Structure 1
Amino acid sequence: MPIESLPQGTVAEGFEPVREVFAATLAEEREGHAAQLAAYVDGRQVVDLWGGPEITGDSLTGVFSSTKGAAHLAVALLVQDGTLDLDEKVSHYWPEFAAEGKAGITLRDLLAHRSGVIGADDGFSLEELADDRRVAERLAGQRPFWRPGTAFGYHGLVIGALTGEVVRRVTGLTMQEFYEARLRAPYGLDFYMGLPEEQEHRVLPTLPMDPTPEQQRELDAAATSPESLPGIAFNEHASDAVPLGTLPNFRAIRAGGPASVGGMASARGLAGMYAAAISGLDGKAPLLKPDTAAEFAQIHSVGYDLVSRQHESFGLGFQAEADIYPFLGAGSFGHAGAAGSVAFADPRAALSFGYNRRRCAVLGGDTPEAGRLAKAVRECVA
């Protein structure tokens, strides 16, 4: 194994097997793979590893939909504070949203990917995708792509803009400003939703997929029309669409930090955020009360997803992680990202996990190696 691919960093006593699994992952992946891994137990960091070309423990990469976890921790705080009511209609907070048959959609429906507002008829420009307020303005007048509440489908590029507009209407702050004030800055999280210019030197550009011939055949077989629900949800039908995997490589996306896909983080930041949520960090209290965490983790949508066209399960703004990883405790919640980042909290084990990779995963989201790493960490906790 090349020296640059050997794991660097530290593990706490009892977590040595995690280093071995991480080393095997670096060795098995294709040339150029670089990744970070971090984990906390009871708010104490027990894993801090990285390896691969150019990457360090301090490197920041685009975490795509893992950003949804940060956004919806912010929403959970507002529900916990009593500022938002999950069963109130979205139009109560945002009257313009009632257009085109959306008046009955509740905040709970929206968070559970049941609203049907997965995109705009004619798509978004890159400049619009970088600005959640512009996306929300466009979607206020959009007709849902299915009758709200009758089915669910992943609102991949827009859910953070939709929930972010609700946050703005009740706080006067954008989702990015609220997250910075209530989560990132107080807990010193290495997870940015809107990357400051002075942090740009830490960024590693996202690398494109590098599929094997077999993987390419699988991708070709699963391809859908740009005008299909998946195509619309991922903006493939826009006249000037850019590939999803390139989004973090645009400064406009990094600076705007769209709450669905625009976060920049290290694995320390991913895991640390969930540690702050359920355990607290550096003597600070947990962000979420157990009842709040349990409600947002509770499964609300499960079964066939109209956008991903496969089995999915969602809580409120989060993926139901124990459905993806059966070795986790019930009530685990988190989110994966297109490049292969995975971050979650397992409250029953007081475990917070973050995995980040530089090259886009071929099939995206929860990758096999992330599952192996998560299982290794969970077994060490047990």
Structure 2
Amino acid sequence: MAQGAGEVHGTVAEGFEAVRAEFAAFVGAEPVDPGAQLAAYQDGRLVVDLWAGEVTGDSLSGVFSVTKGAAYLVTALLVEEGLLELDRTVADYWPEFAAHGKGAVTLRQLLSHRSGVIGADDGFAAEELADDRIIAERLAGQRPFWQPGTAHGYHALAIGALVGEVVRRVTGSSVQELYEERVRAPYGLDFYLGLPESERHRHRDVLPMLPTAEQQATMAASAHPGRYNRLAIAFNTSADPAFDLVAFVNSRTALAKSPASVGGVGNARGIAGMYAAMLGGFNGRGPLLKADTVRDFARPQSVGEDLVAGGSASYALGFQALGLEYPALGADTFGHAGAAGALAFGDPRTGLAYGYTRRRFAFPGGPAPENERLARAVYQAAIA
């Protein structure tokens, strides 16, 4: 049900009142986002549960690359159980991957965005990108775009399928199936890899970006002229016909198949809840991971120049090393942002888990700028 754009709904725990004020300042500004949610847990307790605009706290929407966190969680579970070893080669589990000099790539390097397999030379059709098995089959025979292990770059639409194929070769099940069986269903999370028909009524499409004239000028000035540069390959904008990421994430095919790189659907409570479940007891169940596993997967692995996105980027084992990206947060904070503006993370030192979603695709893409203020407010309340 639609609500007043600037009106904030929901609750915060004692001590988190400043978070509500910060959220209200954002949603009351111009231009107002047509729907945003913010949730946070500390030690498994819901301490922030806010929403505004044309959503409720229960509404679901595409969270783009926040989805990757679920794939990495499934991988961490299998590493903890000894079914996967980080320093074995990917080809040990998936022999076809060794083609074109990729035989020495380890699972650690793959997770750390160091394999160089960022996409396909000739791009993917949208129907192909909805199916992780098809992506994996094509990328097994793809040459890497740099010497594996020597540098890192964001494997934006590929990493979920690549990691997922390793998982499937070891377990016989997909990332989506294992996430549902071992994570979402038992912990009661409102974060789906494959949206059931019974939940479709809660889904709200992500809306395309509406850049201002100034933002349009910035985009035009920074646009790379090459159709086949690494950024275009990684985000499939080199494909013919042109690929529309927003339309793809909203499509019924992507909602049903939920590719593990970008296809998850959830709300702020759900994406924050996944990190809360990793860190400690949640919804009456014990932690999903041991503290040592969390520490290992949160430790930065690739730091510095990103050969795909440009500029500096920091990756742990799959997860983004957000303690390096957001100085106001704890050093060990790990999580993942989504292209439209969503962000989810966990901080093992404070037991804090954070989730933010918005419907309108934020400029310039990636975690929406307001996350810096909102995350700081939540963190400061958590450590007060």
What TM-score range do you get, normalising by the shorter chain? over 0.9
SS across alignment from 2:284? coil
- Matched residue type, 2:216: Q
Residue 218 (structure 2) aligns with: 218
SS across alignment from 2:49? strand
SS across alignment from 1:99? helix
1:86 to 1:29, Cα distance in 2 relative to 1, 3 A: farther
Give the superposition deviation at 1:29: 4.3
CA separation in 2, counterparts of 1:194 and 1:305?
A: 30
SS across alignment from 2:41? strand
CA separation in 2, counterparts of 1:21 and 1:29?
A: 15
SS across alignment from 2:349? helix
Give the superposition deviation at 1:331: 1.2
1:9-30 deviation per Cα after TM superposition (whole angstroms, max 9, x unaligned): 1111111111100000101241
- Matched residue type, 2:181: A
- Matched residue type, 1:175: V
Alignment of structure 1 residues 1-382 onto 2, 5 Å: 3-52=4-53, 54-224=54-224, 225-382=226-383
CA separation in 1, counterparts of 2:184 and 2:227?
A: 36
Give the superposition deviation at 1:358: 0.4
Task: Check whether the contact 2:340–2:367 (CA below 8 A) recurs between aligned residues.
Answer: no
CA separation in 2, counterparts of 1:11 and 1:279?
A: 21
Task: Check whether the contact 2:340–2:368 (CA below 8 A) recurs between aligned residues.
Answer: no
Alignment RMSD, CA only?
Answer: 1.0
1:58-90 deviation per Cα after TM superposition (whole angstroms, max 9, x unaligned): 111110000001110110111011110000000
SS across alignment from 1:72? helix
CA separation in 2, counterparts of 1:187 and 1:141?
A: 38
SS across alignment from 1:288? coil
1:341 to 1:202, Cα distance in 2 relative to 1, 3 A: same
CA separation in 2, counterparts of 1:289 and 1:331?
A: 15
1:223-273 deviation per Cα after TM superposition (whole angstroms, max 9, x unaligned): 122211000000011112322222221111111100000000000001000
- Matched residue type, 1:276: A
CA separation in 2, counterparts of 1:281 and 1:259?
A: 24
CA separation in 2, counterparts of 1:274 and 1:132?
A: 24
State the identity as a percent: 61
CA separation in 2, counterparts of 1:31 and 1:378?
A: 24
1:310 to 1:29, Cα distance in 2 relative to 1, 3 A: farther
CA separation in 2, counterparts of 1:32 and 1:292?
A: 37
1:188-215 deviation per Cα after TM superposition (whole angstroms, max 9, x unaligned): 1100011111111111111010111111
Give the superposition deviation at 1:366: 2.1
Give the superposition deviation at 1:106: 0.2
Runs of 4+ in structure 1 over 3 Å off: none
- Matched residue type, 1:203: H
Structure 1 unaligned spans of 5+: none
Give the superposition deviation at 1:329: 1.2
Task: Check whether the contact 2:37–2:52 (CA below 8 A) recurs between aligned residues.
Answer: yes
SS across alignment from 2:344? strand
Please give the TM-score of this superposition, normalised by the length of structure 1: 0.98
CA separation in 2, counterparts of 1:167 and 1:222?
A: 38
The number of residue pairs the alignment matches comes to: 380
Task: Check whether the contact 1:245–1:338 (CA below 8 A) recurs between aligned residues.
Answer: no
